[in-house]
A and B are shown apart, each in its own frame.
Chain A
Amino acid sequence: MLPLLVRSAKFLIGGAFIFVLLIALYGTLTAEAPTNTAEHEFHKEHKELALASDGPLGKFDLAQLQRGYQVYTEVCAACHSISMVSFREMKELGYNDAQVKKLASDFDKNHAKQPTYDPKTGDRGERGNTLADRFPHIPYSANGTPPDLSLIAKSRHGGGAYIYSLLTGYANQAGYKNEKGQELLKEFPSAKTPTGLFFNPYFANLNIAMPPPLTSDGQVTYLDGTRATVPQMAEDVSAFLVWAAEPTAQSRKQTGLAVVLFLLATSLLAFGAYRSVWAGVKH
């Protein structure tokens, strides 16, 4: 009896798991379909956005990054920090030393300085930003929690395209319809945007605390004379934030091209070596 039990242990264990799975399967099949939510039916995938830095050989468009920084500092920096980016890295946008120093001191005046603490007196104070500093944290006390934007392009599905879609995607909720022609407030009357929030179908739960930041053409006066339409400003700041999320991305791709070509050549040589070593050995 016992040897038989040992020998059939595999069937018993396997049978037990399968039996429980079949019970679970029956439960799933007979369960009521989950009710759809407003997010599920009305959340929109990000729009398409082509940036110069896309693709394995893409390079940053420095003029666009400078415009994007201008949008960031004149609009976004009212609430959002980029506290992982250093002022010295701004030189990679094509600014010279004097220009970056100017950017840092402008940031003092318009946004925030570096906090200091004197351990002898216990005094807390501030000093101006230098090239060696990261961008300072920007204090914010109103409704919502503006996320730090240093990594925003990496931390959202769609990256730059998502940022662009969000910035240009605010809509009037009354009468809003999705692609299927369903009207949001008719299908989900309870999904009405609460006071203090703003309707944006590109945001995960449709209601975002950030008021539309880019509202009118010419909100920023570009130094290079580009016409500052809302889509233009949204695209430029998206490009800037893609850069900010990984300033080394361009040198990464360029190094990669050399590395992969070198290794392809190595593979060819290694294949030749393999063939010559095995020549005459049938296998």
Chain B
Amino acid sequence: MSFPWARHYEPKNPLMKWVDERLPLPRFVYNAVGAGYPVPRNLNYWWNFGVLAGAVLAMQIVTGIVLAMHFHSSAAEAFNSVNGGIMRDVNGGWFLRFAHANGASMFLTVIYLHMFRGLYYGSYKAPREMVWLLGVVIFLLTMATAFMGYVLPWGQMSFWGAQVITGFFSAIPVVGEWIRVWLLGGYAPDDATLNRFFSLHYLLPFVIVGAVILHIWALHIPGSSNPTGVEVKGEQDTVPFHPYYTAKDGFGLAVFMVIYTALIFFAPDYLGHPDNYIPANSLSTPAHIVPEWYFWPFYAILRAFTADFILPAKLWGVLAMFGSILILFFLPWLDKSPVRSANFRPMYRIAFWVLVLDVLVLGYCGGAAATPGFIIMSQIAAAYYFAHFLIIVPIISRLETPKPLPNSITEAVLAGKSGSQASETALSA
């Protein structure tokens, strides 16, 4: 579907006309990301991150496919094939490896920013619930893919990370230990584990691509939201995606590439952990087992549950960790406020920024050693995380009196209050 004023595809080139009549792929692309998709005219830079996530996904798949050509998925050879073969013998192998490892970090970074954009501007609300739900699915698939990818170089953190994460399943009563052994293909991570993780790590990105296609399809039914949260009322509220947003996303992509390449070429190990340059050793446990930075908030929630209360502490931790993500599936129904954008929701806006701070605190605690000070901080922050989604947001959405909304996007734009300028958003926030 699209707005009635959406432009129609008229092939100018006879070849494209020939193709379009037999397989309307050019028309499909034109309507999806071309001039045939009308988009609100007031999107700010926060709306760049969807396209950026798509771009990193494509780059991850390309670098990953070439890396797989040089990787040996055996416990005896994996570490050597990465650190000896790819890093030293393959021409440009160091670039592929660093681009792929840091690409995972960049992917999760843009996904987090994209999600917080959705939280601030209420992008998860009707009629875009399905876009949000598919987004959470993509997030879960990405986390699984990133985790299994981190296991592949078979360093100390790879091995012990696999040990800890699969250990979560042993918290399930009765069948837990059986499930853990079944997942690993043995009593401890070894060849069987490494091979199945490699297989799944190659498969899941393509599942993510499928979910991304559904995500974009679902987005195109109601069309993009915008910083005012007011729906499109007429043609004057929109501009065609191409050339307007291709140009804006092109600029965003170029700036993103500067940051990404600076990381690859000047600080490729900054986000990694030194212990992963030690070959996996099942007899030597690292002093501090920490996951990659993008799992830190969830790791902090897991470690915050230190008390056995009816259920064992470990089971509470695992339930809470998975629960903290699963909550996001229910968000469209937890937040009943009809107003989308936090710009017009004074109470929700405060709650949003407290949540951002809370997640940063959780992340910091998750990366730190489990000393009592950090455990206390993560216990308070984890409690607030659940309170935000399950108690504060539902109550706020009933109590709050929103500010008056503009009648239309165009009215807001002409009044200079469209929220399209990043600086303005930051100031009003």
Chain A residues with CB under 8 Å of chain B are 10-11, 13-15, 17-18, 20-29, 31, 33-34, 56, 84-86, 89, 134, 147, 150-151, 154-157, 204, 245-248, 252-253, 255-257, 259-260, 263-264, 266-267, 269-271, 273-274, 277-278, 281-283
Contact = CB atoms under 8 A, between A and B. Distances in A.
A89 B88 contact: yes
Interface centre among B41, B244, B247, B253 (most CB of A within 10 A): B247
A157 B80 contact: no
Given A84-B88, A89-B88, A259-B265, A14 B277 contact: no
Nearest to B272: A154
22 contacts: A15-B390, A15-B391, A17-B320, A23-B307, A24-B379, A25-B383, A33-B372, A34-B372, A150-B84, A154-B274, A154-B277, A246-B87, A247-B88, A248-B88, A248-B94, A253-B266, A256-B262, A257-B265, A266-B257, A281-B239, A283-B41, A283-B418
B185 interface: no
A24 B306 contact: yes
A86 B88 contact: yes
Contact of B258 (A14, A22, A247, A267): A267
Main secondary structure of the interface of A (DSSP, over half): helix
B266 A256 contact: yes
Interface centre among A24, A85, A246, A282 (most CB of B within 10 A): A24
Contacts of A134: 84
B368 interface: no
Interface of B: 41-43, 80, 83-84, 87-88, 94-95, 98, 239, 243-244, 247-248, 250-251, 253-255, 257-258, 261-262, 264-266, 268-269, 274-278, 287, 304-307, 309, 313, 316, 320, 323, 330, 334, 371-372, 375-376, 379-380, 382-383, 386-387, 389-391, 394, 413-414, 418, 420
A24 B88 contact: no
Given A14-B387, A267-B255, A252 B305 contact: no
B266 A21 contact: no
B380 to A, nearest CB: 7
Contacts of A20: 305, 307, 309, 316
B258 A260 contact: yes
Contacts of B323: 13, 17
A15 B83 CA distance: 48
Given A21-B304, A24-B313, A283-B418, A264 B258 contact: yes
Nearest to A55: B266
